[in-house]
Structure 1
Amino acid sequence: MSLGSSVRLYLLCLLCVLNDQGISITVAAAKTNSQVHIVYLGERQHGNAKLIMDSHHDLLATIVGSKSLASKLMVYSYRHGFSGFAAKLTETQAQKCAELPDVVRVIPNTLHKSVQTSRSWDFLGLSPHSPSSNIIHSSNMGDGVIIGVLDTGVWPESKSFNEEGLGPVPSHWKGVCKSGEKFNARLHCNRKIIGARWFNEGILAEYGQPLNTSKRTEFMSPRDAHGHGTHTASTAAGSFVTNVSYKGLGHGTIRGGAPNARLAIYKVCWNVLGGVCSAADILKAFDEAIHDGVDVLSLSIGGSIPLFSDVDDRDGIATGSFHAVARGITVVCAAANDGPLAQTVQNTSPWIITVAASTMDRAFPTSITLGNNETFLGQAIFTGQEIGFTSLIYPESEGLDPTATGVCESLSLDKTMVYGKVVLCFTSLGRRIDVITASDAVKQAGGVGLVIVSRAYLLRSGI
């Protein structure tokens, strides 16, 4: 069998699910004993932000006993787009807050998990080379529009964020670009990235550990240590970058959907536990973004599965986006990749534009040749050095179910049997996480390749 040495050689009908608002968004289970609670007071009653903040401290003081203690326990005051605050409360204190007449609801802080093409926009019919009637031309490619991105931050040196050809910053922008660790506002903000800040009080109160350690890099600034935020920001509004490829594959010009739009970065997700975002931080970013003057908000962050209801009262994204949309700001969220069942769709609030994951009209066909010279065509991305023919093995069980150990989702491998060989496994789901799990198992066992066969494909093909 002629294959390369990479264990991540995914062949035969491997489903690749892409989402132009981000790839693979999942959520950690909500904490029922959350230390931080969000006290939601609904629409703000007037425009004086200082008086609103003072009223939040006064309300909290009635619960905890003093204004000095209230100041210590206050995490955020939401005073621009809506009224409310996040504070460190016991369950008893949270219940007392919920019973006050001015309180709409008290929401336990939840931890969301945010993790993860030069063809996506052309595939959607939004090519700059299309006729002038195309929406991308009529909108002047997003010129004058400010897109706020709530995610893991941004890597400002990326060529996708160059300001070439852009005019002055839109006059309705009232936000700021803040310096921090490895992020200099004077150097890293320009006419493309016009705003950048970060929010981490909520995650710090919940996580209780440093976000930056010797084993895990993080920056106390808008700089992206994870990569997901840079991906989503460039997908939404990245500038034109020519002569781009992935290791020589998929060569072309990349750009965002609105390459002339400006970006306001709100870092709310942090590089811990695979990428975690606190609801308290997300709501603060909503609150500030509404004040800053963004036109569109993009969130590749979702709710928990299973969902509690169509519009969950405990969902900070639904609450924050409601107030944004009420002020004329379009909010776009990812539907997530927990499908394919309909009930797994996330961010279903009717005021949110929810973007589903999709495939694309591009393939990377790769052939595999067996020792009997029979060849099969699959798909893979591999640019390494070929190693020639090697053995192909299928990890068959000796129990009642002979296929039990050959399931990609739960490979059980004998290192002596697998070392130096290519492993064949079957999957019914084709989920990205199952592919990663299988490839990691083969790599740890010393295998040199992995062939994944989709049972659904075999049924459709009559094999």
Structure 2
Amino acid sequence: MDMGHTASTAAGAFIRNVSYKGLGPGTIRGGAPRARLAIYKVCWNVFGGQCSSADMLKAFDEAIYDGVDVLSLSIGSSIPLFSDIDERDGIATGSFHAVARGITVVCGAANDGPSAQTVQNTAPWILTVAASTMDRAFPTPITLGNNKTFLGQAMFTGKEIGFRGLVYPEASGLDPNAAGVCQSLSLNATLVAGKVVLCFTSMARRAAVTSAAEVVKAAGGVGLIVAKNPSDALYPCSGDFPCVEVDYEIGTRILFYIRSNRSPAVKLSHSKTIVGNPLLPKVAYFSSRGPNSIAPAILKPDITAPGVNILAATSPLDRFEDNGYAMHSGTSMATPHVSGIVALLKALHPDWSPAAIKSALVTTAWRNHPSGYPIFAEGSPQKLANPFDFGGGIANPNGAADPGLLYDMDTADYIHYLCVMGYNNAAISRLTGQPTECPSKEPSILDVNLPSLTIPNLRKSITLTRTVTNAGAPNSIYRAVIEPPFGIIVSVKPDVLLFSNQTKKINFTVTINATHQVNTGYYFGSLSWTDGIHMVKSPLSVRTEMLQPYASDN
């Protein structure tokens, strides 16, 4: 994570005629260009790069003292997670105190997707951000000697490769494909020199591409085509060496061409930039997914923002830097997008709490493309995105500025959560910095006033409560709109909310029943409130578990 890159994404000024090696040209700016930045260094180049909890806690203290409005943290750790009250998780501890003072803390969800239960920064007071692609791509033409052209993906802007020989390394013996695995290429320099090499990999990470590119280059090859599970996060190979990614289908068609021709040839053309239709945003392959491994009833991630091939200013020390700019991918890049939006919302609504800002973002997020098509999540296979992929959806700044209703929370609500989690009074008191005693009757985690509803283990009828605050016209009438998950019956009381100058907050209950008595995976729906102008939509996720893998009081 480059601090300059994330800082300029959050608050960079308008700069015209910017591109990355000619790709993605246009005017560049951060999310909140007039915001002022305070930057606190907490990570150091020791042991491969370390961010200590002590440094993070000190930075939180300094930021609170300095009076910041938003804290943006593109930092994560690893699975398994520390508990919310473990001081080794400096982010959970520090952010609790920041949020208690009205500072919104925005954190990345981590880059361990598409595996489930990999999301990090899961405390309910944190705004946790997943990463999506956007409506921009860099198609790279691959023209075979038979004049068939396929489109790969790359950031190739170096010297164009005219028609050259094309080779796929095959091993002798029982497994001919063993020599063509990208991360363990076995090349005969005599056969490869001056040619383009095709290889296949099942690795999603970039390491397979960079490793193969170095091996091909060392053997005298002039280009590389990598067949892999498609993901849109791209980086140029060093020295502008052409390395083009294709999916397995295209890779197989190229391989069949090689095997059916005595002198296969290929031309690799420069990458191009296309923006807008027909491209649809997707949840990024690497973006960590829910459910939350500490408390599955607390939906994480909360929201999604662009985090793939993000063009922003960077440090001269960045190895991908070109004229002061670079493209990077990660939830670290998605996080400052949301931080910029939060800064704008804070300017519009200075009295909104961090929970109110989170609610506004979650309940107004885009779950479908403006064309109406649903958003997909990259993975194997690609699938329709659900709340564990993108939380409420992709952040919608203008919608969040006028959400209609808010699910608000304060420190008392977060202490409610800590008590439900079974943390002892002494540990909670250490975290909060004040004497805290949990009630003798344990409250339900399902009643934490989140802008989402997640039921991880439904066995019998349950009823949970929520409170909404009117943030729109004083005299408003909202009606419930329920999209129940498959096999689930959902009812709301009252199903009409009447707000006035005297009534600004209203409690309601949601009762959830299963129509089946079987263990299932999660099914998804939503609960919305509408006044005809606003649509305040909460994601609803339910899993029935008649046979429990562990004891539960829910």
TM-score bracket, normalised by the shorter chain, equals 0.3 to 0.5
- Name which structure has the greater RCO, CA cutoff 8 Å, separation 6+: 1
TM-score normalised by structure 1 residue count: 0.47
Which structure has the highest strand share of the two? 2
